[in-house]
Structure 1
Amino acid sequence: MTDTTLVLLPGLMCDVAVWAPQVQALSSHATCHVPHWGPLDSLTAMAEHVLATAPARTFALAGHSMGGRVALEVMRMAPQRVERLALLDTGTPALAAGAAGAKEKAGRMELLALAQSSGMRTMGAQWASGMVHPSVLGTALFEQILDMLERSSPAQFAAQIHALLNRPDAGPVLPTITCPTLVLTGREDLWSPPAQHEAMAQAIAGAQLGIVEQCGHMSTMEQPEAVNAAFVAWLAS
């Protein structure tokens, strides 16, 4: 066991299961900690929770999807506490203005209404089908993802939707990052595509870019061996 503490931030409606393959594989490289968002409804509050509950003063920090945005908020608030950073399947822009932002908000609210009327698993089956690589649909892994979503609640979903709809533009944070940084996404991630991550990596001095083949948005679960290998190299950098 090393002295490294690795804080792993889940994305929207995700829990420790989204990082389970990494926690298992990296146990000899780092002490892993996965926070729970509970009723928190802003990225700033989530970042404050990370800083208050991290089991070490300084740590390696990785965020997936919404967790990546939380990680960037941590970097804005307390960069001196982060030894290295990994951003997975995420993005930086604030909610778009005009029709594009209205469309995103409407889509998220439709999913929330479905969760409230028919339950989290029904909502998840519709939502997650567009997040994963097509080869994952109908598999045991897809059921595991639905199990994870079902462990949450419509109230938590509403809180996290509020956080994302009110997200800050994190683009200005990128050029301020000086610690070793990994930027990674799935080749077929339609939510957070490779081109978006290429631009993020270019904005961070010395960042390493990873594109995981045959992989959608849930990279940590879809292609754990590839993600684990990237993390081992990142932790050793």
Structure 2
Amino acid sequence: MKHEITGKPGTEAVVLSAGLGGAAAFWAPQRAALEEHFQVIAFDQRGTGRNAAPLPEGYTIGHMADDVVEVLDAARIERAHFLGHALGGLVGLELARRHPSRLARFVPVNAWAKVERHSERCFDIRIGILKSQGPAAYVAAQPLFLHTAPYMAAHYEKLDAEIAHGTAHFQGEANLLKRIGALRAFDARADLATITAPTLVAASRDDLLVPWTASQALVEGLPNARLWITETGGHAFTVEQPEPFNAVLIDFLLER
């Protein structure tokens, strides 16, 4: 797995795991803050970006967690903090189930133990757009599920550029459907009580794609978790309003 390590050599490591898009670039608003204190390990998830390749049948969140272990082994890092957005948060939960000794502190952002029916409906709509209108339409619709209307209005040209880039580097229908299938099949509810890593669950109340109550349920199931909520910022509040989250994130990761 191709990956990059930035930040302060010899310090604790933080692994960044993106959501359904799989791109490490999603975490750009967090990178500088993290690099002041930690080694930062970033990678495009298998089947996307710099790790583009056809995914096998039966692809699971477990495969994605094993990829994280592969990256840690290649970097010669035994234990790391883990920051995961949506699907990336599921990867962190699976890492905690499969390889608990490799996980230090855990920050799932707008994630869930089992996908909500509302989120399933959103995925059905997105798949319908992909199948009926193609990748360009799918990528053009993506900001609607990520961002708030005021942000989209204020950053119209920026989003246009992101849509053009996303269309040019689309992960492919087959890979995307396998990744959606993996997150739909994931269910960690029965094992939450066994995940003891200190956890900061972060969510936004106005997330269109994932109800914040899914994060609340995570906190109720995890024995060593706390909930941090922002009132606005949508599914990608880490992009829309990074400063408040970054401050809480760094404080949490530095706790002893």
Q: Could you say if the C-alpha distance between residues 82 and 148 of structure 1 is closer, same or farther in structure 2, counting changes exceeding 3 Å?
A: farther
Q: How does 1:53-92 map to 2 (within 5 A)?
A: 53-54=71-72, 55=75, 56-92=77-113
Residue matched to 1:13: 21
Match of 1:161 among 154, 175, 180: 180
Aligned pair count reads: 230
Match of 1:185 among 189, 196, 203: 203
Question: Aligned to 1:130, what secondary structure does the other structure show?
Answer: helix
CA root-mean-square deviation: 2.4
Q: Which runs of 4+ in 1 moved over 6 A?
A: none
Q: Which amino acid aligns with 2:213?
A: A
Q: Which amino acid aligns with 2:103?
A: V
Q: Could you say if the C-alpha distance between residues 213 and 106 of structure 1 is closer, same or farther in structure 2, counting changes exceeding 3 Å?
A: closer
CA contact (8 A) 1:72 1:173 kept: no
Cα distance in 1, alignment partners of residues 216 and 112 from structure 2: 11
Cα distance in 2, alignment partners of residues 183 and 110 from structure 1: 31
Q: Could you say if the C-alpha distance between residues 168 and 6 of structure 1 is closer, same or farther in structure 2, counting changes exceeding 3 Å?
A: same
Identity of aligned residues (%): 28
Residue matched to 2:44: 36
CA contact (8 A) 1:17 1:148 kept: no
Listed one character per residue, the Cα deviations across residues 207-236 of structure 1 (whole Å, up to 9, x for unaligned) are 121112321001221111122112111111
Q: Does residue 211 in structure 1 map to residue 226 in structure 2?
A: no
C-alpha displacement at 1:104, in angstroms? Answer: 6.0
Q: Which amino acid aligns with 1:125?
A: A
Cα distance in 2, alignment partners of residues 102 and 212 from structure 1: 23
Residue matched to 2:163: 146
C-alpha displacement at 1:172, in angstroms? Answer: 2.1
Q: Could you say if the C-alpha distance between residues 109 and 44 of structure 1 is closer, same or farther in structure 2, counting changes exceeding 3 Å?
A: same
Residue matched to 2:135: 119
Question: Aligned to 1:192, what secondary structure does the other structure show?
Answer: coil
Cα distance in 1, alignment partners of residues 166 and 200 from structure 2: 27
Listed one character per residue, the Cα deviations across residues 16-68 of structure 1 (whole Å, up to 9, x for unaligned) are 22111111221011111122222444211111111111221110011101111
Question: Aligned to 2:146, what secondary structure does the other structure show?
Answer: coil
Q: Which amino acid aligns with 2:138?
A: M
- The range that moved more, 191-200 or 12-21, is 191-200
CA contact (8 A) 1:8 1:34 kept: yes
Q: Could you say if the C-alpha distance between residues 144 and 220 of structure 1 is closer, same or farther in structure 2, counting changes exceeding 3 Å?
A: farther
C-alpha displacement at 1:141, in angstroms? Answer: 4.8
* Higher RCO structure (Cα 8 Å, ≥6 apart): 1
C-alpha displacement at 1:148, in angstroms? Answer: 5.6
Cα distance in 2, alignment partners of residues 183 and 95 from structure 1: 17
Question: Any stretches of 5+ residues in structure 2 without a counterpart?
Answer: 1-7, 48-53
Cα distance in 2, alignment partners of residues 177 and 58 from structure 1: 15
CA contact (8 A) 1:197 1:209 kept: yes
Listed one character per residue, the Cα deviations across residues 82-116 of structure 1 (whole Å, up to 9, x for unaligned) are 011011011111586xxx898566434313315xx
- The range that moved more, 100-109 or 169-178, is 100-109
CA contact (8 A) 2:116 2:214 kept: no
Cα distance in 2, alignment partners of residues 148 and 68 from structure 1: 24
C-alpha displacement at 1:8, in angstroms? Answer: 0.8
Q: Could you say if the C-alpha distance between residues 148 and 23 of structure 1 is closer, same or farther in structure 2, counting changes exceeding 3 Å?
A: farther
